[in-house]
Each structure stands twice: as structure tokens, then as C-alpha cells.
Chain A
């Protein structure tokens, strides 16, 4: 069994201190230890984007980041994203645009989209498409996800 390490970080705006096994991923930390199940396991190898979280404002695959590396950083998960104004706008746009089917990929897209919006990188069709290249969706064909992000970038849902 592995060594535990103490870490201190901010999670969705709240300071946290805890001990985590050295070999634990941030995805396991969030889901198994902290009960934040909005962040999904889709592949565990950085290939699907279902586990996307924001770390110091950058979008990161939580499955590829060790939990110990959260130390000293600021993490935002989908739960944190939808608590903010941009996240709510995105959620409303995803719902109104029909961007959700089985929904398993959706939290990852929500976090990635909030990142794009925050960075001013959702300016047009091509930029949005490139911005979500790392997120897989098997249900929607992406069309309505792109539309939703464009709608949110323009300031609201069209429903």
C-alpha cells in the first residue's frame, strides 16, 4: 500500500486539507474520496475528456494528474462551474440547444467550454471545434454542443 501525503488546495472556492495516497489520481480523489461524481471516468488515459477539470484556470484531464499535484493549486470541477454565472449560462445553452443525450460526456464538455469562454476562445465555429477536440461524445455528433457553446459565448440561451 502506498504512502499518504498531506496536501492543501482550493476546491470549487473552498480551501481543503487532506491526506492522499501518493499514487492516487485527481480523478479518484474527486470521485472516490470527495464524492464529487460529476467528473467522469471515460478512459483513464487522457483520451476522452470526460474527466476535465480546471487547475489554476487551465483545463486538465484529472485522470492524468496525481492527487498530490493538487497541492497549492486551485481546482474547479463541473460542480463548481455550474455554481457560477458562466456555468449557468452554459448549462442553459446546453439544455436549450439539445447538446445533451446520454449526458456522460457532458460534464467534461461543460468544464472545457467554461475554460474556452473564460479565455475568450469561443469566438467562432472553427475555434470552438478546435477547443473541444479533446472531448469525445458518442451520442450527439457534436453539432449541438458546438451550437450551445456558441450561444453561451454570445451571452445566453436561445430558448
Chain B
């Protein structure tokens, strides 16, 4: 545990990718099996433990700390596991911490009712840094700035291999990955990826920058709408179908209807996962309801039907199409789709255009239909893993803005817990039965300001508080915030009837009188109709 704690601690404060990689490789080279395999699991897919982590932590702390102090501390630190590691009562003498693989072994063998006791005994034997690392290990997502891909890259480095070699076998492996390390270190065979439909690293786009335009010839590019869903890869082989997120996470469990649609296929395809009702793409919020579920209720399947809009074909009938130019792959995709016609799928249309100006004009029209932006794909480019420069571009529309009035402020968490940093703002509407105006809250923003602006806002809030309830202060409606957001949608859950997507403070309008802020009608006018 000590070596693992040290590497995790170092990773959490090391900024550079090279520095992180060096720390990880050194750890993987020196740590024994099976400890290093469990550590690798923690940094990639998570340990195969079923632990009600939050409940166990809150039960353990309920016996050891005052609830008010725990809450204040948690708000300050901004992370529950770290708070527990710091507040855990110090044992009279601290023993050496247990070995990582022993702890994992105990937890794997334990009944659910025994888990809390095991966790408490480990915490008693650790110092603060080890407690933190241990809780990150069993808690699922260590969030130390190490992607699964970086961890796999560190493994690949042990044997001078490329990360894609590791990724191609990854889904055939299980922690603690003994066969993987044997293969990488040259003492064992390559693990057989078998007939498991494995994840193929995706090709990603760069935002198009002003400086890119002069170098781009419209004839070299195909254009597609950028859909407001999530990017997925569907991999089907021998009746087994997997749906992978952009980062290679297996999200198949949440989308059984897509799996059955591909049950007879032998392909790997790239597309956008959406919720579509009667041919209309629903708001992103609807898709979010479907994510992060291990199983799906029938009602959810009926009310939030999933749909896959395909735009690329990587493999078909065992043939690797990735070296082909985009234009050829697109033809293969169209042929395959016309032949197989899998349910719940369609193709992302190619938008014909002669010039980028024409394309922009088309897009302006589509904006009314909720289109998030455009994708530009170089016709001659192969399907290249990662984010290679100059092949795929995303062209997003500028954010929308509204002038809103600050209504409430709440203390932040983490470094901001001494400042008021969460802002609820509203717009004007006529009060029912009178011709006076009243404010109605339309959203909440936590970002978009500098530290200096945050301190000014904090000062304004303290000086203009009308009421305090717990961590929240109501303030006089005097300050206008120009709020930027990606979209506004109808929402039954909000008093105003609308909800903003990604609102953030664009500018603080100290100069603007609050009466001149925007109205609810102006807000409603920005609602996108569902995409066609």
C-alpha cells in the first residue's frame, strides 16, 4: 500500500504527462504481481468490487465524527474520500499498512456486511496519505489526472510497445492482468482477444481555429452536422455486441435495444448515440437519463428510446477498413447499411456544399433546429486513432448569452468554501395580476470569472445580503451578470419552466442597471426546437 500511496500521491500533484508516465512506469516496473495489476485496474476499469462505497463511508464517519463538522469539512475539501482520509481518528500507534493485494483479496472474498469492518481496519493501519490512496483505490474513480489510456501507455512502455497494442487486447483481459504483464515483459504469449468485440481507439476532431481556414480547401472535405448526443463505438461479432464510449468504457448494459439491433452483425462502427422520438432528436438531458445504468426498466426503454446515428465503419466482416480513405469507408458504410438495415439506426447525412460560406449559411438555418455545430472530415484521411492534426475538425456555434440578475449566492466547495461562488440568477417577467415585474430564477453558474472577480462578487454579496438561510444568501437585485450558455430547454422541474445547458458567467455588468436585464420572453425565444 505504501508504494501505491506514494505513486498516487505523486500523480495527483504532477502536472506534466511525461512526469506522470515516468511515475507510473517506475511503479509498474518495480511493484510485484499481483499488486501492480490491482493498481492498474484501479486506474482503468476500476476494481471488480461491489461496494456501496458512499454508504459505507457515511456509516463509518457517523460513528467517528460529528455530522455538522463532517459536512463543513466535506464542503471545504470538495471530495468525500479525501475528507474521510483526513478526519479519520489517528490510532495510538500506526502499524505498517497492509499489502495492496491482501486488502483487495479480503474485500473480494467478503460478504457485503463485512466490507465496512475491513475498510475500517485498513484505515486504522494507514497514515493520512495511505488512507487517501486506499479510499481512492476502492472508491472507483481515483481522479488523479490519469486517463485509462495513459495507464495503458505506461504498461506498453514496459515492453516498448504502442498503447494501441495494449488496447486491442484489453477487453479480453481481467485484473490483476498477470497474462498482460507476462506478454509485455516478454515472458508470455500475447493474450488472445478471441471473439470478444474489442474497443478500437477512436479518431477524434480538433476545434477549427481561425488560423486553420486559409489552409482548408472545401473540395477536400465532407461535412456532417454535429449531433448533441454522445460519441460511441458499436462492436459486434459472433452474437456478442458491445457499446463503447469515446474513452473505451463499456456502456452496453444501459442500451439493450442497440445490442439486439446489432445481434447478427459483424462490424465495428462509429456513431452518435441519441434519444429519438417519432423521428425527432430529444434534448441531451433525455439521453443522460439513460446513462450510468446497469439495467434498464421497460418504461425507460419506451419513454427514452435510444437511436444510433452512424457515420463511420471501421471493420466489416472481419476486414479492417481503417486504412481506407474516409470517402471509401463512407461508401462501404452506405452499402452495408442499405443491405443490413439494422433497426434503430440511420446514417448521418453528408451536407453538400461548394464553399465554407455556403456551409455557414446552411448551418445558420439549422441552428433553429438545435444543431450544435458541424464536423469537417478530410475525404482522403484514413481512420487514425487519437486526435491527429489536420484530418477532422469540429466547428461549433458561438454560445448564446442573456443578461440576468443575481438573486442568490451560495458558498462554494473546496478552495472556494470561504467565498460565495455559486450564483443563482433570474430574468424579469410580469407579476401575475399586476403590471410590475418580478424576477424568476433561470439557472445557476459556478464559473467564468477570475479569482479577482470572484472576490469582488463575494464582497458585493456580503454587502447586499437581504436574508441568509444556511450557506445561501439572498441578495438585492442590483447586479447584472451576462450569462453564456449552450442551449436553453423547456423544463417542468424549474419554476421558470426553462433550464439552461452549461451556463457560465460571461461578463459581470457592474455598469448595467438591473431593470435593463433580459425577460423570460426573451429567454423562451432562444429555445431550440427539437432537431429534425
- Are A and B part of the same complex? no
Q: Which residues of B contact A (CB under 8 A)?
A: none
